[in-house]
Structure 1
Amino acid sequence: MNHTPLLSGQVAAVTGAASGIGFACAQAMIAAGAQVVLVDRDAPALAKARETLGDCALPLVLDLLDPAQCAAMPARILALTGGRLDIFHANAGLYVGGDLIDATDDAIDRMLNLNINVVMKNVRGVLPHMMERGVGDIIVTSSLAAHFPTPWEPVYASSKWAIDCFVQTVRRQVFKHGIRVGAISPGPVITSLLADWPAEKLEEAKAKGSLLEAAEVANVVLFMLTRPRGMTIRDVVMMPTQFDL
């Protein structure tokens, strides 16, 4: 029986990796045998994550909303890993919920920049390396909101609809290079982003037990990454059974 870890020898990078879904996915990849670059702007949180995850976690402090730092990300990842990247998980994101009329211009700009523009730039940045090697996996954290016009989060939902289109179109461009691109679209997950949810929706979700754990999302991401190379899991929508749209 083969007991080799599923991602043995592979190198991954995860953005927004200091907490929440990003941390859980990095943890799952390391447990499966990968070395993982943890990309986040929160240096203390990254240091804590590195302490928890061990030597296979390589912290990289970057503010992806800074154009120069964002542009430098691919080269800095490759410098840390000895010039190899097999898996890139674009996970970092922001949340703006509530009525559109109450959203500020700055909050809208920051969220759309991180949730859409940065993801596009990051994926574009890692593609040349993967195309040269003829293999790679790209996962983007989308949302259930990408599949349903969620009335309490029009700005956030719009960003995820846009990035879902990006995932599906890029996938069609790069599959010929041996690169798989997929999206994970979870419903509400217990992370710090939920602190920005409308209070009544959060209390309703808690009362119903209709929230996901970040580790449950990580398990699905690991499933996507470990399919035979001839199979692409294009997108997975996952939600708590009790969650009612």
Structure 2
Amino acid sequence: MAERLNGKIAAITGAASGIGLATTKALLAEGATVVMVDRDTAALETLIAELGDKAIAQVTDLLDADSCDAMIPEILDKVPHIDILYLNAGTYIGGDLDETNSAGIDRMLNLNVNAVMKNTLGVIPHMKERGVGDIWVTCSVAGHSAIAWEPVYSGSKWAITCFVQTMRRQLREHGIRVGQVSPGPVVSALLADWPEENLRKAKESGSLIDPEEVADAVVYALTRGRNVTIRDMIVLPTNFDI
């Protein structure tokens, strides 16, 4: 395989598992150096030892305001620049609104929305100065469809769809591409909060995809010529009924 991202440096949040880990491996295979951002120190240490010298650990707790604000400066202390910032970390709340609580809502919005906005804010001066960059975000099909069993999650992802598309317009004149990948249900720990009946039906019907399928979509977007921006990629299991 040609190393289409040889020499590029990427930073990925939520990189120790799921879509983040699958994309880390995919970008490494394309020749990139990847800064793996996660709050799980032990998992990062294990993965860095397995993945080799081009995988670099960055311990950040995106739910801690100070740690979140320090993420980009700390990454730039470890690598000379950031070509790709993939904001993938997120969490999930399913069920009716009155089945959750205000603390759970705050946590979801802080991780799924606020941290994405803050990390984007943090990297903009660096990418503007260089005149080039890619900012990519994990959204969801829930950011395109009002899914009745997950109003809080859907609300957070609709916010991200709006944010990504407004930032794409703001930053394109600076050589910075902004886009999102919007998967359907992915086999990951995030589905632990799914209603058991919905999860069972999805598994039985083949309505789940693997994280590697999402990683492939991200690689495709990042390896287009600079005259092309992939604004959004909706990646669904064929049998997913939305």
Deviations 1:47-101, CA, capped at 9 Å, x for gaps: 12212321111011110111111111111111111x2110000001010111110
Corresponding residue number in structure 2 for 1:60:
58
* Aligned 1:172-187 pairs, distance under 5 A: 172-187=169-184
1:213 aligns with 2:210: yes
Deviations 1:103-151, CA, capped at 9 Å, x for gaps: 0111110000110011000011011111100000010000010011001
**Partner Cα distance (2:142, 2:50) in 1:** 31
Corresponding residue number in structure 2 for 1:103:
100
1:80 aligns with 2:90: no
Residue identity opposite 2:50 in structure 1: T
Structure 1 runs of 4+ with >4 Å offset: none
Quick check: 1:139–1:182 contact (8 Å CA) kept in 2?
Answer: yes
* Aligned 1:1-245 pairs, distance under 5 A: 4-81=2-79, 83-245=80-242
**Partner Cα distance (2:2, 2:21) in 1:** 23
Aligned-residue offset at 1:4: 4.7
**Partner-residue secondary structure (3-state), 1:38:** strand
**Partner Cα distance (2:200, 2:172) in 1:** 42
**Partner-residue secondary structure (3-state), 1:49:** helix
Residue identity opposite 2:75 in structure 1: I
**Partner Cα distance (1:48, 1:207) in 2:** 33
Overall identity of the aligned pairs, in %: 57
List runs of 5+ in structure 2 lacking aligned partners.
none
Aligned-residue offset at 1:42: 0.6
Deviations 1:169-217, CA, capped at 9 Å, x for gaps: 0000000000000000000000100111111110000000110100010
Q: Normalization by structure 1: what TM-score?
A: 0.97
Residue identity opposite 1:80 in structure 2: K
**Partner Cα distance (1:220, 1:163) in 2:** 18
Deviations 1:208-243, CA, capped at 9 Å, x for gaps: 011010001000000000000000000011100011
